[in-house]
Protein backbone atom coordinates (compact mmCIF):
# COMPACT_ATOMS: atom_id res chain seq x y z
CA UNK A 1 0.00 0.00 0.00
CA UNK A 2 1.44 3.39 -0.97
CA UNK A 3 1.81 6.11 1.65
CA UNK A 4 0.72 9.57 0.71
CA UNK A 5 2.21 12.80 1.93
CA UNK A 6 0.02 14.63 4.45
CA UNK A 7 -1.91 17.64 3.21
CA UNK A 8 -3.10 20.78 4.96
CA UNK A 9 -5.42 23.17 3.20
CA UNK A 10 -5.91 26.94 3.52
CA UNK A 11 -9.23 28.37 2.44
CA UNK A 12 -10.97 31.71 2.95
CA UNK A 13 -12.65 34.70 1.38
CA UNK A 14 -10.82 36.78 -1.20
CA UNK A 15 -8.47 39.25 0.50
CA UNK A 16 -8.54 37.47 3.88
CA UNK A 17 -4.75 37.10 3.81
CA UNK A 18 -4.12 33.49 2.78
CA UNK A 19 -1.00 34.20 0.73
CA UNK A 20 0.43 36.56 3.37
CA UNK A 21 -0.13 33.97 6.07
CA UNK A 22 1.48 31.18 4.04
CA UNK A 23 4.46 33.43 3.35
CA UNK A 24 4.81 34.25 7.07
CA UNK A 25 4.38 30.62 8.19
CA UNK A 26 7.02 29.29 5.84
CA UNK A 27 9.48 32.17 5.86
CA UNK A 28 12.08 29.73 7.27
CA UNK A 29 11.61 27.31 4.37
CA UNK A 30 13.75 28.61 1.49
CA UNK A 31 12.09 26.59 -1.29
CA UNK A 32 8.62 28.02 -0.72
CA UNK A 33 8.16 31.19 -2.71
CA UNK A 34 4.74 32.72 -2.16
CA UNK A 35 3.71 35.79 -4.09
CA UNK A 36 1.40 38.21 -2.33
CA UNK A 37 -0.80 40.43 -4.46
CA UNK A 38 -2.54 43.61 -3.39
CA UNK A 39 -5.39 42.66 -5.72
CA UNK A 40 -8.20 40.69 -4.00
CA UNK A 41 -8.99 37.39 -5.69
CA UNK A 42 -5.51 36.99 -7.18
CA UNK A 43 -5.39 33.23 -6.52
CA UNK A 44 -7.60 31.63 -9.18
CA UNK A 45 -6.37 28.03 -9.05
CA UNK A 46 -5.47 25.51 -6.39
CA UNK A 47 -1.79 26.05 -5.54
CA UNK A 48 0.47 23.43 -3.94
CA UNK A 49 3.50 24.13 -1.76
CA UNK A 50 5.56 21.08 -0.92
CA UNK A 51 7.24 21.55 2.45
CA UNK A 52 10.32 19.37 2.01
CA UNK A 53 9.42 15.71 2.36
CA UNK A 54 7.14 16.51 5.27
CA UNK A 55 3.78 17.61 3.87
CA UNK A 56 2.07 19.66 1.18
CA UNK A 57 0.21 22.86 1.84
CA UNK A 58 -2.75 23.50 -0.46
CA UNK A 59 -3.77 27.12 -1.08
CA UNK A 60 -7.32 27.33 -2.36
CA UNK A 61 -8.61 30.28 -4.39
CA UNK A 62 -10.60 32.81 -2.41
CA UNK A 63 -14.37 32.71 -2.40
CA UNK A 64 -16.82 35.59 -2.30
CA UNK A 65 -15.63 38.78 -4.00
CA UNK A 66 -13.75 38.05 -7.26
CA UNK A 67 -13.90 34.28 -6.77
CA UNK A 68 -13.45 32.01 -9.79
CA UNK A 69 -16.80 31.06 -11.28
CA UNK A 70 -16.08 27.37 -10.79
CA UNK A 71 -14.93 27.78 -7.16
CA UNK A 72 -17.47 25.40 -5.58
CA UNK A 73 -17.00 22.65 -8.16
CA UNK A 74 -13.20 22.91 -8.12
CA UNK A 75 -12.76 23.02 -4.35
CA UNK A 76 -15.53 20.57 -3.52
CA UNK A 77 -14.14 17.97 -5.94
CA UNK A 78 -10.69 18.34 -4.40
CA UNK A 79 -11.73 18.25 -0.73
CA UNK A 80 -14.13 15.35 -1.18
CA UNK A 81 -11.47 12.96 -2.50
CA UNK A 82 -8.41 13.66 -0.28
CA UNK A 83 -7.96 10.94 2.31
CA UNK A 84 -4.57 12.34 3.33
CA UNK A 85 -5.98 15.80 4.16
CA UNK A 86 -5.11 16.24 7.83
CA UNK A 87 -6.64 19.65 8.49
CA UNK A 88 -8.31 22.51 6.67
CA UNK A 89 -7.59 25.99 7.96
CA UNK A 90 -10.51 28.32 7.32
CA UNK A 91 -9.30 31.91 7.49
CA UNK A 92 -11.52 34.68 8.84
CA UNK A 93 -10.75 38.40 8.85
CA UNK A 94 -10.48 39.60 12.47
CA UNK A 95 -12.40 42.76 11.64
CA UNK A 96 -15.50 41.02 10.31
CA UNK A 97 -15.59 37.46 11.73
CA UNK A 98 -17.79 34.81 10.14
CA UNK A 99 -19.55 36.14 7.03
CA UNK A 100 -22.33 34.64 4.94
CA UNK A 101 -19.77 33.76 2.24
CA UNK A 102 -17.77 31.72 4.79
CA UNK A 103 -20.69 29.32 5.09
CA UNK A 104 -19.68 27.86 1.70
CA UNK A 105 -16.43 26.55 3.17
CA UNK A 106 -17.97 25.58 6.52
CA UNK A 107 -20.72 23.58 4.79
CA UNK A 108 -18.19 21.79 2.55
CA UNK A 109 -16.04 20.78 5.54
CA UNK A 110 -19.06 19.67 7.55
CA UNK A 111 -20.63 17.75 4.64
CA UNK A 112 -17.45 15.79 3.86
CA UNK A 113 -16.42 15.32 7.51
CA UNK A 114 -13.18 17.27 7.02
CA UNK A 115 -11.57 18.43 10.26
CA UNK A 116 -11.11 22.19 10.17
CA UNK A 117 -9.85 25.05 12.29
CA UNK A 118 -10.58 28.77 12.19
CA UNK A 119 -7.61 31.10 11.81
CA UNK A 120 -8.40 34.73 12.56
CA UNK A 121 -6.18 36.94 10.40
CA UNK A 122 -5.20 40.62 10.39
CA UNK A 123 -5.50 40.96 14.17
CA UNK A 124 -3.07 43.88 14.04
CA UNK A 125 -5.61 45.93 12.07
CA UNK A 126 -8.48 45.66 14.56
CA UNK A 127 -9.15 47.56 17.79
CA UNK A 128 -8.92 45.20 20.78
CA UNK A 129 -12.59 45.70 21.76
CA UNK A 130 -13.79 44.94 18.23
CA UNK A 131 -11.51 41.91 17.98
CA UNK A 132 -12.85 40.54 21.28
CA UNK A 133 -16.42 41.03 20.02
CA UNK A 134 -15.61 39.11 16.80
CA UNK A 135 -13.84 36.31 18.71
CA UNK A 136 -16.81 35.82 21.03
CA UNK A 137 -19.15 35.64 18.02
CA UNK A 138 -16.87 33.12 16.29
CA UNK A 139 -16.69 30.94 19.42
CA UNK A 140 -20.48 31.06 19.74
CA UNK A 141 -20.75 30.06 16.07
CA UNK A 142 -18.33 27.13 16.57
CA UNK A 143 -20.23 25.87 19.60
CA UNK A 144 -23.73 26.12 18.11
CA UNK A 145 -23.32 25.58 14.36
CA UNK A 146 -20.40 23.21 13.78
CA UNK A 147 -19.60 19.55 14.30
CA UNK A 148 -16.08 19.07 12.93
CA UNK A 149 -14.47 22.38 13.86
CA UNK A 150 -11.47 22.34 16.21
CA UNK A 151 -12.59 24.59 19.09
CA UNK A 152 -9.29 26.48 19.47
CA UNK A 153 -9.09 29.66 17.39
CA UNK A 154 -5.70 30.72 16.06
CA UNK A 155 -5.15 34.49 16.03
CA UNK A 156 -2.45 35.69 13.65
CA UNK A 157 -0.86 38.77 12.19
CA UNK A 158 1.26 38.10 9.11
CA UNK A 159 2.64 41.62 9.39
CA UNK A 160 3.90 41.35 12.99
CA UNK A 161 4.24 37.52 13.05
CA UNK A 162 1.89 37.33 16.06
CA UNK A 163 0.61 33.79 16.54
CA UNK A 164 2.66 32.47 13.62
CA UNK A 165 4.90 30.20 15.70
CA UNK A 166 1.92 28.65 17.51
CA UNK A 167 0.11 27.95 14.23
CA UNK A 168 3.34 26.61 12.71
CA UNK A 169 3.67 24.17 15.65
CA UNK A 170 0.04 23.09 15.28
CA UNK A 171 0.54 22.38 11.57
CA UNK A 172 3.69 20.39 12.39
CA UNK A 173 1.70 18.43 14.97
CA UNK A 174 -1.28 17.57 12.73
CA UNK A 175 1.03 16.48 9.91
CA UNK A 176 3.16 14.35 12.26
CA UNK A 177 6.23 16.56 11.80
CA UNK A 178 6.67 18.24 15.18
CA UNK A 179 10.11 16.63 15.59
CA UNK A 180 11.26 18.25 12.31
CA UNK A 181 10.18 21.67 13.53
CA UNK A 182 12.07 21.21 16.79
CA UNK A 183 15.20 20.15 14.88
CA UNK A 184 14.95 23.19 12.58
CA UNK A 185 14.57 25.53 15.55
CA UNK A 186 17.60 24.03 17.30
CA UNK A 187 19.67 24.36 14.12
CA UNK A 188 18.61 27.97 13.70
CA UNK A 189 19.47 28.76 17.34
CA UNK A 190 22.92 27.17 17.02
CA UNK A 191 23.66 29.33 13.95
CA UNK A 192 22.78 32.55 15.80
Would residue 1 count as lying in a domain?
no
Q: Strands 85-93 and 47-51, how do they pair? A: unpaired
pLDDT in tens, 145-188: 999 899 999 999 999 999 999 999 899 889 988 766 556 656 66
pLDDT at 135 over 60: yes
The answer to whether 38 and 176 are in contact (CB under 8 A) is no
Would residue 93 count as lying in a domain?
yes
The answer to whether 58 and 12 are in contact (CB under 8 A) is no
The gap between the terminal CA atoms of the chain, to the nearest Å, is: 43
**Residue in 75, 143, 89 with CA at minimum distance from that of residue 121:** 89
Would residue 170 count as lying in a domain?
yes
Instruction: Output the pLDDT for position 2.
Output: 43
Q: pTM to 2 decimals?
A: 0.85
3-class secondary-structure state, position 28: coil
Instruction: Output the pLDDT for position 1.
Output: 38
45 vs 145: CA distance, rounded Å: 29
pLDDT in tens, 20-66: 898 898 876 655 554 444 555 455 688 888 887 788 899 998 888 77
3-class secondary-structure state, position 111: helix
Structural domain that includes position 34: 6-191
Domain count, the chain: 1
3-class secondary-structure state, position 152: strand
- CATH number of the domain bearing residue 31: 3.40.50.300
Would residue 157 count as lying in a domain?
yes
Q: Tell me what the mean pLDDT of segment 8-24 comes to.
A: 91
Amino acid sequence: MATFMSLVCFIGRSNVGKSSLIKALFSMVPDIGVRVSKTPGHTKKINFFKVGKSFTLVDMPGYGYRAPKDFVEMVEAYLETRENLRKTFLLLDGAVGVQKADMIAVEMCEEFGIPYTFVVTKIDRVQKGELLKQLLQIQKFVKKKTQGCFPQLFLVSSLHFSGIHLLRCFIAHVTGNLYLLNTAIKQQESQE
